[in-house]
Amino acid sequence: MEAYTDFASVYDQFMDETPYEQWCQNILAVLREYDIQNGLILELGCGTGSMTELLAENGYDMIGIDYSQDMLNIALDKREQSGHQDILYLNQDMREFELYGTVGAVVSVCDSLNYLLEDEDVVTCFKLVNNYLDPKGIFFFDFNTRYKYEEVIGDTVIAENREECSFIWENFYDEEERINEYDLTIFVKEAQASGEELFRRFQETHYQKGYELEDMKRFLKEAGMEFIRAYDADTLQEVTDTSERIYCIAQEQGK
């Protein structure tokens, strides 16, 4: 699993069109459906805390876990600015995370689970989720599909140029392993003591694995959880062969 390091400093700038507000409403609808109106919620792969903050604004007591301390440092800055001082951020691996008690729900969005490259790692994570959920607690998560990597972003180059920063995102998809390698080259404008403005260049490589809905159903079953339903995260309709991101809802079924 790769951790965001240098990229963390510009992550929010490049993700500014991500529909976090809509995603939050999708999560809230499910939580309310299962009468989870308040209480303690865990976000796995919370990143810079954008979703964590939104859920806190809606009255939930939040815990955010992420593998990257650099991302969490930005989340901590957001917490300071928002005043949501009760948010607890933990620098932990989702395959090994530990809590002091159980939570009413666990959420994980923005394809955080795709960073788990081995089936066993996903099962391990799901077992921990089941262990730390309240009885009949809800697990809401998304994942990028195999179709998305194979047909949409695999072996493509994406570039974006902005005033303060720019990036080149090169994808290399291994069809046999179902793993997408993406190499990020970032250029960030920095002011110098001399008054000059120069661009600093840095690179990161990340890996994500494409999964299918049947994979997730199997992992949930192995982890002792009950699969409830799944739907297309973009259309909120039934999953199709061309769904790129899928929402899954599962429920705790005993420890």
Q: Would you write out the chain's pLDDT as a tens digit for each of its 255 residues? A: 656 666 677 776 777 778 999 999 999 999 999 999 999 999 999 999 999 999 999 999 999 999 999 999 999 999 999 999 999 999 999 999 999 999 999 999 999 999 999 999 999 999 999 999 999 999 999 999 999 999 999 899 988 887 778 889 999 999 999 999 989 898 887 766 666 777 788 888 999 999 999 999 999 999 999 999 999 999 999 999 999 999 999 999 987
Question: How does DSSP classify residue 206?
Answer: E
Residue 162 phi, psi dihedral angles, 5° rounding: -125, 175
3-class state of residue 202 by DSSP: strand
Whole-structure pTM value = 0.92
Residue 43 has what pLDDT?
Answer: 98
Residue 165 has what pLDDT?
Answer: 80
Residue 5 has what pLDDT?
Answer: 62
CA distances from 205 to 39, 148, 177, 183, 228 (A): 37, 19, 17, 4, 35
Q: Are 34 and 61 in contact (CB under 8 A)?
A: no
Give residue for tokens 């297309």: 232
* All domains of the chain in start order, with CATH: 6-145+211-251 (3.40.50.150), 148-209 (2.20.25.110)
Residue 109 has what pLDDT?
Answer: 96
Residue 232 has what pLDDT?
Answer: 98
